[in-house]
């Protein structure tokens, strides 16, 4: 474990204990072998003036919802130290009441809720307290004779605490054990199956001691012959099977879920271990992880759907075994899976949450294999994991869930997404919670859509292998496909039929018609495994009211509309809705160059300004307004509608 302390940087915080606390907290948080997303907590005790100018001892402790890797001063909750110490003296206190009293004791009511381990930090009589879930330390505790191994490794300088549920019970237990203890006799404290604490009156000393103790644990594992995790080369699965897995998970959960597929060499190697079914289902590294991972993963074999439903049934039985009768059962869907032979999967409502679980799983599979070397991976008993998963503080959150965007957990593919209508659709769907794959010929798409939930792919829609690649990426990255916005198109220069270039005719048919048919062909097998799947075809007002000089464009779009109508007939039995929007007067798109506008206006004997507002409402339609209509067609507004053709043109007397 490398010590990241930098004297030059640290010196700038020397006169500010809280700023120093932020610095060393970030050092700890940026080391994933110490702290994973949101895990661990740190604190500092300072004396500060209150509102009236009186000096008070305050514990600045990490606030709920903050990550040590990125925490700032605002992420620490200032709590009156004396109140926390008095709370520790109480024999009984529910965790809900503990949270209430901690918030009531804050100097700043707008600060985040203090860590549930604030009382524990308060009773440790040093200015700086660091707590991590160091992989190496917890791996040793999760082995046969783990406590004996810890005592052998660290001797009498470490205080060893048997596992106790985090929260008030843990704080009270440690208060009882240490009430008359001389803390100066100890270099740190290890909570079995949970983590490690270090403490000192100087930030550097606490940090250095954490790095030193964890390094000792890492060296111990090496000396015990713990080998590197198994690795194996990846083999692509049947992508329809992955889409089916994600659909089944979503059905069991009751909401659309994303599936993040991990094909790293370590994930694949773990999935191919002969005893993976047995060792992967013993439990997590630390019970804190069950909030994200549930107690165990699902093992997916040759019949994933059955495996998932069996897991759900077993989860309900697990709940029934441990509930006190007043608890609300969580959804029974797994949060991660070992897909035998292929790697691991994680499931959640957002890609960010799925990535967090993926990181936890990566560390878990390494720790499991290390634990096997030490004599067998030994996680906490099932009842302890249940108590953590159904902690009263977690149950209290169930009734406070925030309203989610309409397309949260859904996956969309938009073609022609670099500009105009396509870009507006991609951005708007994302704003409503969807993850989006965008495809465009313009290379700029890669940088425009360069986020974990917003992925741009450069390619020509007239090339079937490009279309297949885009669909595969939707499944590989997110688990499937629910929404297809078939938008890519070109607007050829105006030519009368007798003057029409054969190349322009062919190009228009290729882009405006054939590419859409090929895209449907690539998407339909995956859409059949989608969640409330929908296809929205971007056609044109020209279908209903063509104009002279636009034969190449209008004929291709008319063919596209007919294609969409037939698709609606064919796909209705699979629950796939197909609808069309016919925009017009959308002049903030790349196809409406000054040249094209001038040509079309001249064709009608109008000025450009008059041409742009030639509809009944004398208005222009924006790309964003088309995107709003597309989202309505893809969502619940059009849930009972299929085969519709909706004009979005400001009103055309020729159409009406």
The dihedral through the CA atoms of 269, 271, 348, 317 has a sign that is negative
If you count them, how many residues does the chain have? 656
Could you confirm whether 553 is annotated as catalytic?
yes
CA distance 132 to 39: 7
Q: What is the DSSP string of 84-146?
A: HHHHHT-S---HHHHHHHHHHTBS-TTSPPBPTTHHHHHHS-SSEEEEE--HHHHHHHTSTTH
CA distance 271 to 524: 30
Q: What angle do CA 406, 412, 413 make, to 5 degrees?
A: 155
**536 contacts 519 by C-beta, under 8 angstroms:** no
Residue 339's beta-bridge partner residues? 300, 343
- Which residues are CB-contacts of 420 (< 8 A; sequence separation ≥ 6)? 586, 588, 589, 590, 591, 623
Q: Find the catalytic residue in 128, 315, 553, 611.
A: 553
Residue 61's beta-bridge partner residues? 43, 77
Burial of 442 (0-12, 13-18, 19+ CB in 10 A): middle
- For the chain, what is the total number of helices (H) and then of strands (E)? 26, 19
CA distance 40 to 28: 9
**471: its two tokens:** 């669909």
- Using CA atoms, how far residue 117 sits from 41, 253, 302, in Å, is 8, 31, 44
CA distance 623 to 613: 16
CA distance 243 to 251: 12
Interstrand relation of 158-161 and 55-62 (parallel, antiparallel or unpaired): unpaired
Residues designated as active site: 553
């Amino acid at each position: 474990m490398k010590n990241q302390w930098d004297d030059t940087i640290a010196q700038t915080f020397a006169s500010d204990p809280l700023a120093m606390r932020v610095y060393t907290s970030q050092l700890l948080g940026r080391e994933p072998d110490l702290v994973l997303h949101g895990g661990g907590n740190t604190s500092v005790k300072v004396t500060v003036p209150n509102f009236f100018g009186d000096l008070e001892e305050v514990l600045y402790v990490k606030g709920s919802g903050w990550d040590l890797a990125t925490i700032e001063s605002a992420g620490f909750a200032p709590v009156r130290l004396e109140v926390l110490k008095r709370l520790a003296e109480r024999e009984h206190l529910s965790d809900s009441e503990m949270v209430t009293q901690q918030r009531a004791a804050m100097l700043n009511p707008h600060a985040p809720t203090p860590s549930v381990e604030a009382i524990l930090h308060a009773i440790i009589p040093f200015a700086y307290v660091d707590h991590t879930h160091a992989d190496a330390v917890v791996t040793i505790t999760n082995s046969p004779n783990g406590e004996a191994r810890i005592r052998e490794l660290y001797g009498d300088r470490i205080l060893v605490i048997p596992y106790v549920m985090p929260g008030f019970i843990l704080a009270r237990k440690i208060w009882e054990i240490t009430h008359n203890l001389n803390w100066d006799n100890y270099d740190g404290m290890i909570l079995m199956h949970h983590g490690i604490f270090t403490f000192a009156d100087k930030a550097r000393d606490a940090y250095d001691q954490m790095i030193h103790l964890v390094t000792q644990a890492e060296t111990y594992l090496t000396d015990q012959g713990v080998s590197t995790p198994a690795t194996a080369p990846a083999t692509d699965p049947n992508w329809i099977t992955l889409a089916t897995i994600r659909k089944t998970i979503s059905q069991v959960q009751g909401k659309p879920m994303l599936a993040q597929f991990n094909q790293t060499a370590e994930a694949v190697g773990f999935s191919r271990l002969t005893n993976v079914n047995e060792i992967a289902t013993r439990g997590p590294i630390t019970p804190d992880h069950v909030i994200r991972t549930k107690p165990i993963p699902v093992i997916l074999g040759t019949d994933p759907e059955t495996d998932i439903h069996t897991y759900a049934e077993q989860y309900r039985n697990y709940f029934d075994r441990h509930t006190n009768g007043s608890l609300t059962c969580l959804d029974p869907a797994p949060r991660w899976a070992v897909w035998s032979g292929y790697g691991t999967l994680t499931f959640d409502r957002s890609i960010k949450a799925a990535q967090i679980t993926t990181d936890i799983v990566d560390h878990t599979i390494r720790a499991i294999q290390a634990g096997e070397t030490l004599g067998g991976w030994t996680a906490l008993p099932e009842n302890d994991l249940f108590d953590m998963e159904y902690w009263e503080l977690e149950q209290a959150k169930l009734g406070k869930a925030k309203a989610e965007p309409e397309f949260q957990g859904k996956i969309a593919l938009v073609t022609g997404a670099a500009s105009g209508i396509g870009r507006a659709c991609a951005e708007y769907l994302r704003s409503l919670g969807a993850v989006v794959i965008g495809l465009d010929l313009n290379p700029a798409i890669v940088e425009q859509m360069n986020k974990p939930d917003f992925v741009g792919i450069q390619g020509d829609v007239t090339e079937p292998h490009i279309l297949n690649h885009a669909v595969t990426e939707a499944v590989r990255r997110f688990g499937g496909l629910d929404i297809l916005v078939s938008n890519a198109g070109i607007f050829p220069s105006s030519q009368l039929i007798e003057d029409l270039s054969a190349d322009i005719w062919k190009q228009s048919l290729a882009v405006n018609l054939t590419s859409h048919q090929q895209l449907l062909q690539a998407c339909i097998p995956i859409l059949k495994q989608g969640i409330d799947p929908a296809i929205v075809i971007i056609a044109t007002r020209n279908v209903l009211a063509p104009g002279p000089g636009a034969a190449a464009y209008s004929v291709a779009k008319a063919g596209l509309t007919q294609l969409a109508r037939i698709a609606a007939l064919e796909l209705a039995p699979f629950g796939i809705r197909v609808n069309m929007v016919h925009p017009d007067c959308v002049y903030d798109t790349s196809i409406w160059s000054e040249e094209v506008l001038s040509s079309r206006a001249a064709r009608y004997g109008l000025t450009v300004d008059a041409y742009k507002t030639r509809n009944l409402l004398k208005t222009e339609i924006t790309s964003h307004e088309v995107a709003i209509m597309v989202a309505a067609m893809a969502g619940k507004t059009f849930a009972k509608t299929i085969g519709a053709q909706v004009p979005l043109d400001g009103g055309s007397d020729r159409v009406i």
